[in-house]
Amino acid sequence: MEKLKKISYGWLIAILFVSQLIIGLPHTANAETSATQTEEQSQIPVNLDLNGQKYPLNVPKNSTVLDVIQKVTKDHNLTLNVSGQGESAYIQTIGDRPNKSESDYYWMAYKNGWSLDKSVGVEPIKANDQINLELTNDFTKDMPYKLEIKGKKDAILNETTAYREKSAGPATAYDLLNWVTTEKNIPLDATYSDSFGSYFINNIGNQELQTTSTGGEFWSFLVNDQVAQDGVSQHTLNPNDRVTFKVDTWGTIGDSDDQSQDQDQTNENEAGNQSNNGSSKQVEKVDKTQIHKAIQSTKNYIQTNGINTTWEAIGIKQSGNKLPSHFSELIRQEVKDHHGEFRKITDIERLIIGASAAGLNATSIEGYPLVQKLFHASSNQMMRQGLNGAVFGLLALDSGHYNVPKSATWTRDRLIHAILNKQTKQGFWVLNDGDKSGQVDMTGLVLTALAPYQSQKDVAASIDHAVHYLASVQADDGGFKDSILGETSESTAQAIIGLSSVGVDPQGESFTKAKGNPMTFLMGYQTKNGGFAHQKGQSADSIATEQGLEALAAFNKFLNKDQLSIYQFQVPSKVSVSTSSKNSSKSTKSTKPTKPTKSTKLANSDERADDQRSSSPKTLGKHESTSPEQASKSDNKASQTQRELPNTATNTPNMFAIGFIIFITGLIFYWINRRRHVHEK
């Protein structure tokens, strides 16, 4: 009997342990199958063209362009170097590209043939998207198209520029509309008609279109202000075409509707007339007589105290006055005292500009080659003071139309490239990446530096973007407000100088607000003694005064159609700089400034022709207007998403644990019974 009990205990324990294993296995198989099916269902197919190498792949839904790039580089053992995260993510290198010999090359990203409007770190992808990643140094190869959308009362989208990769082929009007509205999150309702072979635009931006038995409202589109004669998806665009979508009417909507619209228009006109009548003195343009009077008053104020700075000299010189001889002596003496050596690159640039204003040849001041020291400055020295180095460097080289050899460290092309790369997605520039102040001041200064190069497509696009940024942040009184300092005369002065330099009227329609324009605002800061105040109600300030005079001089040149900026002068002799021989300047050519030939038109402040759109050095402006809190939330969200695991947990480990406990319990009972049997014997 005892032997039978032992056998029964052993079999019971074995059966219980095995049964637990059997119970657990189906759960494991089902969990693995479920996880696989879930993973497959959450994957979408995309294609990546990496500098000509094609990679079809599947990635999880809600992935970004950067996720696609990271998967391909990981799967194919390619080194990927990315700086920043989220909105500031920027691809630096893939593999060993760009290498040392490709210092001016950058990775440019496209989605479905269009340059990205966001960083690769946040640009979303959908199934079957085509991602192209190209290593290039040609930032002018993309085809630009302009788009604006006009609603019934207000603009849904001001003029913006989108860029399409040439290899993707020309875009249709619908391609442009579909891409921009998707990127800007503007609702688009369009229906494709097989009979017409084109899309019909039902609505854009949720406008309430009226339809009656006698007529209705619809979306029409124009190309270069001409009504298109074919369908929106049939009309092939040419580079730089401007496409306008607007609400139009056909037939008559009805008497009551007509009367209502007429009354609305009458009310708007009356309101506009009342506004103009109530503020006619404020929006009245400043004329030449007022400008000349203001210039004379400021000139007298400065000359009373003596001309001691380059910036005062610029204002005096460009106002049509001669500089006293003592100013050129100040330039010579400063160079001599420092033996031509300066720690700050801006000191060299300031002296070059001052020398040019004084009629000196800055290629040799007291035997010191300042211009050569500028264009052979190290990268560290040039960029140590933020964007000032590159901007004033370009202004300095152009101040005397100085020649620069191709062997120079800093050619005009490289300076321009450095400046364009720092423009933000919003269209402005700042001194240092991430600065929250000085946007208007630096943007105005950059416009002045870039003005002679408007014939270059990338420069023209950058200028358009910046001009619209200025218009978008202008206050109702016509001035400009700094985010930290508030409204100052200096910010408005720099905006006037920049606008006048690129051929945009500071008193034009785009810059005339309800209570004034930049010129009327600036004139309100001139004190009785002729100087200019930093802020309203204060006494004259030296910096505000010199910048105020520069602004008056720049606008006066604009009125006189003088296309040279206030930083450009005629030096007494032909300037030639050579680092080796007299013939070196003849054998080399450099980018030289050309006179602006046309006024810059207002462009959309949300647009930017960035390479990689936020992923390239141009938008990385590396100082997007994302707050630290927003960036932190974005990073935390991204980290949380990366840490989330699929819900594939099973009860198998628990079953194993229970079976093991039962097995141990059985052994204990067996051991107790055996000892009891021994004692009984």
- Beta-sheet pairing, 215-223 with 114-115: unpaired
Residues 19 and 48 in one domain: no
Please report which residue ranges of 342-451 form alpha helices under DSSP H.
345-357, 370-375, 379-383, 388-399, 412-420, 439-450
Check whether 297 has a pLDDT greater than 60.
Answer: yes
Look at residues 587, 619, 634 and tell me which one is the last residue of a structural domain: 587
Residues 313 and 435 in one domain: yes
Question: What confidence tens digit (pLDDT) does each residue in 587-626 have?
Answer: 334 455 544 433 333 333 333 223 332 332 232 232 333 3
The per-residue pLDDT for 12 is 57
Residue 165 lies in a domain: yes
Task: Read off the pLDDT of each residue in 332-340 and give the average, rounded to a whole number.
Answer: 94
Check whether 652 has a pLDDT greater than 80.
Answer: no
What is the percent of the chain with per-residue pLDDT over 90, rounded to a whole number? 45
Residues 90 and 18 in one domain: no
Residues spanned by the domain of 85: 43-138
Name the pLDDT band for 22 (thresholds 50, 70, 90): low
User: 200 versus 645: which is more confidently predicted?
Assistant: 200
Residue 646 lies in a domain: no
Residues 553 and 444 in one domain: yes
Residues 204 and 297 in one domain: no
| Least-confidence region, from 89-93, 232-236, 401-405, 662-666 | 662-666
Burial of 105 (0-12, 13-18, 19+ CB in 10 A): middle
Check whether 471 has a pLDDT greater than 50.
Answer: yes
Residues 50 and 11 in one domain: no
Name the pLDDT band for 33 (thresholds 50, 70, 90): low
Question: What confidence tens digit (pLDDT) does each residue in 309-321 have?
Answer: 999 999 999 998 8
Residues 60 and 206 in one domain: no
CATH number at residue 444: 1.50.10.20
The per-residue pLDDT for 235 is 86
Look at residues 95, 116, 138 and tell me which one is the last residue of a structural domain: 138
The per-residue pLDDT for 343 is 87
Measured in whole angstroms, how far is the alpha carbon of residue 67 from the centre of its chain? 22
Question: What confidence tens digit (pLDDT) does each residue in 128-175 have?
Answer: 999 998 888 775 667 889 999 998 887 888 888 888 887 788 889 999
DSSP 44: E
Name the pLDDT band for 249 (thresholds 50, 70, 90): confident
Residues 307 and 436 in one domain: yes
Residue 645 lies in a domain: no
Q: How far apart are CA 480 and CA 589, in angstroms?
A: 40
Residues 149 and 133 in one domain: no
Residue 617 lies in a domain: no
Q: Pick from 135, 235, 223, 149: which is nearest to 607 by CA?
A: 149
Q: How far apart are CA 226 and CA 440, in angstroms?
A: 35
Residue 322 lies in a domain: yes
Residue 336 lies in a domain: yes
Look at residues 121, 138, 155 and tell me which one is the last residue of a structural domain: 138
Task: Read off the pLDDT of each residue in 570-574 and give the average, rounded to a whole number.
Answer: 68
Residues 551 and 437 in one domain: yes
User: 32 versus 593: which is more confidently predicted?
Assistant: 593
Residues 443 and 371 in one domain: yes
Task: Read off the pLDDT of each residue in 235-247 and give the average, rounded to a whole number.
Answer: 90
For 191-247, give the DSSP string.
EEETTTTEEEEEEETT----EETTEEEEEEEEETTEE-SS-TTT-BPPTT-EEEEEE
Check whether 351 has a pLDDT greater than 90.
Answer: yes
The per-residue pLDDT for 14 is 59
Q: How far apart are CA 357 and CA 70, in angstroms?
A: 53
Check whether 506 has a pLDDT greater than 70.
Answer: yes
CATH number at residue 109: 2.170.130.30
Residues 21 and 131 in one domain: no
Residue 603 lies in a domain: no
Residue 613 lies in a domain: no
Q: How many domains does one find in the chain?
A: 4
- Which of 30-34, 434-438, 548-552 shows the highest mean pLDDT? 548-552
